[in-house]
Amino acid sequence: MATGRTHRPATRSRGIPEATVARLPLYLRALTALSERSVPTVSSEELAAAAGVNSAKLRKDFSYLGSYGTRGVGYDVEYLVYQISRELGLTQDWPVVIVGIGNLGAALANYGGFASRGFRVAALIDADPAMAGKPVAGIAVQHTDELEQIIADNGVSIGVIATPAGAAQQVCDRLVAAGVTSILNFAPTVLTVPDGVDVRKVDLSIELQILAFHEQRKAGEDAAHDGGRTAPAVRAATVAADRKGPDGDVPAVMPA
Amino acid sequence: MATGRTHRPATRSRGIPEATVARLPLYLRALTALSERSVPTVSSEELAAAAGVNSAKLRKDFSYLGSYGTRGVGYDVEYLVYQISRELGLTQDWPVVIVGIGNLGAALANYGGFASRGFRVAALIDADPAMAGKPVAGIAVQHTDELEQIIADNGVSIGVIATPAGAAQQVCDRLVAAGVTSILNFAPTVLTVPDGVDVRKVDLSIELQILAFHEQRKAGEDAAHDGGRTAPAVRAATVAADRKGPDGDVPAVMPA
DNA sequence: ATGTCTTTGTGAACGCGTGCACAAAGATGG
DNA sequence: CCATCTTTGTGCACGCGTTCACAAAGACAT
């Protein structure tokens, strides 16, 4: 029973499967590159290769958006860029606040890919009074006290949390209370939010641990290629510089 | 056919499902917190709440590792911490190199969660000669020329790429050639690697776009509560500052 | 206009992951 | 030693996502 906050399965969103939504930005990026090279059309095979996915998967993904291709030819690059942009809601401007301007927060503020596609850093917020007024990435940092006002004034619905773990839930609560309904969390904590609020997590530590698991497995398998017990310690302590384990590249699944 | 590099489905790793592996770090974090509070045992229900997952899922996850619980009581915290650590390969030390010491790379270098669990920053590498020798997070930055030597000398098998998109593939190739078999990629590019090399991607831009999609959908649904076709362009230009769409929190899926 | 060739769009099969619901296991109290 | 109560471990069913394989659709040449 506890607090009663449990996760829900990831509701399919208006007909478009969640997995497809997660790939649309990938397609969009590849298409944008093609667009900049003035490539007029592209086949599912080519685009799939550029996006690093299966061509059948790509076609099925696009089929959820509608029939935007021409058989025997492929997809019109410009048209598809527009359609996906519209589907992702990138035709409008999304003001974003970043809370917690430490090393990471500052790095995010400076990240160019932000403004590139419909996102605009509306404000940088930090709890340290000493930070207030200091410009980071050309924007003056504001104090946490003004959080609610900033959200309201700018109509912010997307918040980025880059605070220490201890402060994350508290910041999250305030963001949500102020009207934010989508949160990107960089703090290593499980955030609890009411229904209707989306949380996505980015966690360096978890990613590394998953890599370590596979890394260990590769080493273990190679070491276990002898019949049973020919002291394998050999390479164990030395460099594990073997390559080509029997494993492809692995998707990174991150529950919020 | 193209280059022939296509993605593979994410092979189940030695019996333990990939989805389970991705959750183990989550459990481990929750367990570590309990351990620090000297909590001796914990039930699947409690631990699941702390990790933000379903208790049945948690029990099934643990069942892949073995029967480490006691019926009627729960799980021994310390014992479970050890077992999961061992399973993830965190009982050994993983030297890691970070390539690309810009804003993000520096932030990663300073990230405390790094050293906390088995990971050690062996070197910071940057292509800018002006950076060479400069200390970041207490470590002197080294030039890209020394990449291969560093990898070899330290037995590095995990590399973090925090370079601009344009340099990522090239850096990746060098890392792999030098013996790295696991890569955490922060650059917004699709990396192509040989079989046996794991790539996990962290992409701020993609995460934001996924959030934007759901955000738009929430707004659209609220606005679409009229019958059928009352010119919807209305809200498009204005700020979408409504809250509480009928949607729970959404998992973040990130194919490499 | 007709045939050929390319590429899309999708029906169907399969496999993985999730959640339910319950039997088995052990603790605990009398 | 037996009864009861708690909590684990798991068999089972269901749904989502992926992949295959092919028919339909259109371009293009003749």
CATH number at residue B28: 1.10.10.10
**Do B75 and B115 reside in the same domain of the chain?**
no
What pLDDT is stored for residue A230 in this prediction? Answer: 34
pLDDT at B119 over 90: yes
> First CA to last CA across chain B, in angstroms?
20
**Do B43 and B109 reside in the same domain of the chain?**
no
Per-residue pLDDT of chain A (256 residues; tens, 9 = 90+): 333 333 344 444 458 999 999 999 999 999 999 999 999 999 999 999 999 999 999 999 999 999 999 999 999 999 999 999 999 999 999 999 999 999 999 999 999 877 777 899 999 999 999 999 999 999 999 999 999 999 999 999 999 999 999 999 999 999 999 999 999 999 999 999 999 999 999 999 999 999 999 999 998 766 655 433 333 333 333 333 233 333 333 333 343 4
**Do A156 and A189 reside in the same domain of the chain?**
yes
**Do B181 and B121 reside in the same domain of the chain?**
yes
pLDDT at B244 over 60: no
Chain A residue with Cα closest to B256:
A251
The CA distance from A127 to A167, in Å, is 10
The CA distance from A12 to A6, in Å, is 18
Task: Identify all chain B residues contacting A153, using CB atoms and an 8 Å cutoff.
Answer: none
- Tell me the pLDDT tens digit for each residue of B29-78: 999 999 999 999 999 999 999 999 999 999 999 999 999 999 999 999 99
Q: Does residue B245 sit within a domain?
A: no
A251/B253 touch (CB, cutoff 8 Å), yes or no: yes
Q: Give the one of A91, A184, A240 whose C-beta lies nearest to B211's C-beta.
A: A184
Domain that holds residue B41: 18-88
Nearest residue (Cα to C1') for D10?
Answer: B60
Quote the minimal CA–CA distance from B226 to chain A in Å. Answer: 17
Q: Does residue B211 sit within a domain?
A: no
The CA distance from A187 to A112, in Å, is 21
**Do A81 and A116 reside in the same domain of the chain?**
no
Residue appearing with tokens 């890209």: B144
- In degrees and rounded to multiples of 5, residue B237 shows phi and psi of -80, -30
What pLDDT is stored for residue A11 in this prediction? Answer: 43
**Do B41 and B81 reside in the same domain of the chain?**
yes
What is the average pLDDT score of chain B?
85
Quote the minimal CA–CA distance from B62 to chain A in Å. Answer: 16
* pLDDT tier at B124, thresholds 50, 70, 90: very high
A202 touching B (Cβ < 8 Å): yes
A205 touching B (Cβ < 8 Å): yes
Task: Identify all chain B residues contacting A216, using CB atoms and an 8 Å cutoff.
Answer: 88-89, 92
| Å from the B80 CA to the C30 C1' | 34
What pLDDT is stored for residue B106 in this prediction? Answer: 97
**Do B111 and B179 reside in the same domain of the chain?**
yes
* Overall domain count for chain A: 2
Q: Does residue A177 sit within a domain?
A: yes
Phi-psi region of B194 (alpha: psi -120 to 50; beta: other; left: phi over 0): beta
CA–CA–CA angle B246, B250, B251 (5° rounding): 165
Can you say whether the dihedral through the CA atoms of B89, B93, B97, B98 is positive or negative? positive
Chain B residue with Cα closest to A160:
B208
The CA distance from B48 to B43, in Å, is 8
Instruction: Determine if strand C comes within 7 Å of the CB of A83.
Output: no
The CA distance from A141 to B217, in Å, is 31
What does each C-alpha distance from B78 to A84, A108, B67, B85 come to in angstroms? 49, 37, 15, 11
Q: Give the domain-ending residue among A31, A53, A88.
A: A88
pLDDT at B172 over 70: yes
Report yes or no: B113 and A104 within 8 Å, Cβ to Cβ. no
Q: Does residue B239 sit within a domain?
A: no
Which CATH number belongs to the domain containing residue B196 in this structure?
3.40.50.720
Q: Does residue A131 sit within a domain?
A: yes
**Do B68 and B106 reside in the same domain of the chain?**
no
**Do A98 and A83 reside in the same domain of the chain?**
no
B49/A13 touch (CB, cutoff 8 Å), yes or no: no
The CA distance from B195 to A215, in Å, is 13
Phi-psi region of A27 (alpha: psi -120 to 50; beta: other; left: phi over 0): alpha
If you average pLDDT over residues B76-95, what whole number do you get? 97
Report yes or no: A27 and A91 within 8 Å, Cβ to Cβ. no
- Tell me the pLDDT tens digit for each residue of B182-224: 999 999 999 999 999 999 999 999 999 999 999 999 987 666 5
Q: Does residue A109 sit within a domain?
A: yes
> What stretch of H or E contains A94?
strand A94-99
Is residue A204 part of an annotated ligand binding site?
no
Quote the minimal CA–CA distance from A216 to chain B in Å. Answer: 6
Q: Give the domain-ending residue among A67, A88, A109.
A: A88
**Do B84 and B172 reside in the same domain of the chain?**
no
**Do A74 and A136 reside in the same domain of the chain?**
no
A124 touching B (Cβ < 8 Å): no
Residues 73-92 of B with CB under 7 A from strand C: 73
Q: Is B112 exposed, middle or buried (0-12, 13-18, 19+ CB in 10 A)?
A: exposed
A190/B26 touch (CB, cutoff 8 Å), yes or no: yes
Q: Give the domain-ending residue among B88, B113, B140.
A: B88
- In degrees and rounded to multiples of 5, residue B143 shows phi and psi of -80, 155
Chain B residue with Cα closest to A116:
B205
Q: Does residue B244 sit within a domain?
A: no
The CA distance from A145 to A148, in Å, is 8
The CA distance from A252 to B198, in Å, is 10
A138 touching B (Cβ < 8 Å): no
| Å from the A46 CA to the C6 C1' | 14
Q: Does residue A107 sit within a domain?
A: yes
**Do B163 and B146 reside in the same domain of the chain?**
yes
